[in-house]
Amino acid sequence: MIREYARLFRIEYLEACDEVFPALASAEGLPERREDSKHLPLGAREVLTAYYSDDSLDRGGLASYELEINERRVRLALATRPAWSGLCVPLAGLGRSSPQEDCGISATVAPDRAIDAFRSSALRFLCEIEAKSLEIYDSPIFRLRQLDPRRGRLSATFSTDSFLHYRLSAGLLADELTGALAQTRSIHDLLAAPDKHMPLRAQVLPHGGALADFDNRVCSGGVLTLLAIARPKPHNDFVVLAQRRSAVVSDSPGLLSVIPKAFHQPSVLPHSQALASEVAPSATLYRELFEEVLGGREVELADRDLQPMWFVEKSKPLRWLQERPDSYQALCVGVGINLLSGNYEIGTLLVIHDPRFWRAFEQVLRPNWEVANLIRCSTLPAPSASPQRGLSGLIRATDQWTSEGLMVLVEGLAYLKRQFPERVSLPAIRVRRLAPVPAELL
């Protein structure tokens, strides 16, 4: 731990020892934190959407992502741009490449101009982990350097970094907000003095200009996928999957999201020649589909010498898709910046339009430990079904969703409705995108 702390903050090992040992001694007497995570999601969204006003986001050429659901306005904790919404960019198929998925690796070292601001908070976090005898693991991640998604192309440049670097810098912003919500009497009090209660955020992500400055901060991210599988007669619909996140995961516990939902990271070593083939978001999509939905083995740190796409041969459903490239399509449908930690969120849709897949593999859909409940919804309403149930009811539960998950759900469903109108009908709900580009979605 000391060696990593010294490396991250560019100090000598002995200097790090002089900081860590006294802090460890103090941490043993720290009181337990009493943050109530059950009240965090809604409160966090309200704080973040107020903190990053329209004028603030405009400093980075960003705008809020807003929906109107049955005439109720919903502003998500997600920043985006007009060219980042309503996308339909073809992504690579299994074992293939796509010229529209133009994602590369930069060999230059990425700066982190804000790292020193996190030093005292990172020290406290590490000491709390040590005092509670917990473990924190490190692994390679992708870090965004440049992003230019458009309607027909996803152009982005990444470099490799470490999860520990992210967790001890931008990852601490979520902890700060959790603490601020717990220690103030109300959200109103927090917003009355945001710089006092969230000093880290005020230093490193104070406005939209900082959010959009990907190259000068640790901007890690995720790949989220709406999985839609066509069913044969008599259904003639799609089954779309959602998840209730487990209470034991660190990312969005207890909330609704699409599935798979994954950190964008490689499964090979950072200096491997195979790294370039893993930077495409589609590579993360298929690997996490294997792990989170198809009951596959999760990649462990000791497995980093694996070849890319090693899991395809171990999964009968994925082999079936690979052998039938016309049976499915993977698309990027939207991109956003998460206001909580400044992470990028790449929203994708995997639509399997050959009903034979459902016949063959319906019973194979098995979520992993990250999922408390796997939710299957039809894109056609059942006869005499209550509008409070099914997919329409799920969309209405906006307060229970992660912001990025709800964005991917509605953008993915909008694409399905345009391309397969006979299989998608949700008369009990009306969804419009208000910003950044107004559009009728559902």
Structure tokens at 47: 């704080």
How sure is the predictor about 48, in pLDDT bands with cuts at 50, 70 and 90?
Answer: very high
pLDDT at 130 over 90: no
Domains of the chain, by residue range, sit at 221-440
pLDDT at 303 over 60: no
- Distance, in Å, from the CA atom of 404 to the CA atom of 399, rounded to the nearest integer, reads 12
- Distance, in Å, from the CA atom of 389 to the CA atom of 367, rounded to the nearest integer, reads 22
Average pLDDT value for residue range 175-201: 93
How sure is the predictor about 42, in pLDDT bands with cuts at 50, 70 and 90?
Answer: low
What pLDDT is stored for residue 378 in this prediction? 95
| Nearest Cα residue to 349 out of 328, 364, 366 | 328
Q: 């307060």: which residue's tokens? A: 399
What pLDDT is stored for residue 388 in this prediction? 61
- 3-state DSSP helix/strand/coil % of the chain, to nearest 5: 40, 25, 35
Report pLDDT digits (tens) over 330-381.
999 999 999 999 999 999 999 999 999 999 999 999 888 888 899 999 999 8
Report pLDDT digits (tens) over 382-416.
766 655 678 999 999 999 999 999 999 999 999 99
| Nearest Cα residue to 221 out of 299, 178, 166 | 166
- Distance, in Å, from the CA atom of 355 to the CA atom of 357, rounded to the nearest integer, reads 5
- Distance, in Å, from the CA atom of 75 to the CA atom of 257, rounded to the nearest integer, reads 17
Average pLDDT value for residue range 102-115: 83
Q: 């859909």: which residue's tokens? A: 365
Contact 333, 347 (CB under 8 A): yes
- Which of 22-31, 87-96, 311-320, 369-378 has the least mean pLDDT? 22-31
pLDDT at 36 over 70: no
Fill in the amino acid letter for 23. Answer: A
Average pLDDT value for residue range 429-442: 93
CATH number attached to the domain at 221-440: 3.90.79.10
| Nearest Cα residue to 431 out of 66, 70, 64 | 70
What does each C-alpha distance from 317 to 95, 290, 303, 327 come to in angstroms? Answer: 14, 9, 22, 12
Report the chain's mean pLDDT, rounded to a whole number: 88
Average pLDDT value for residue range 79-90: 95
In this structure, the number of other CB atoms found within 10 A of the CB of residue 203 comes to 14
Beta bridge partners of 205: none
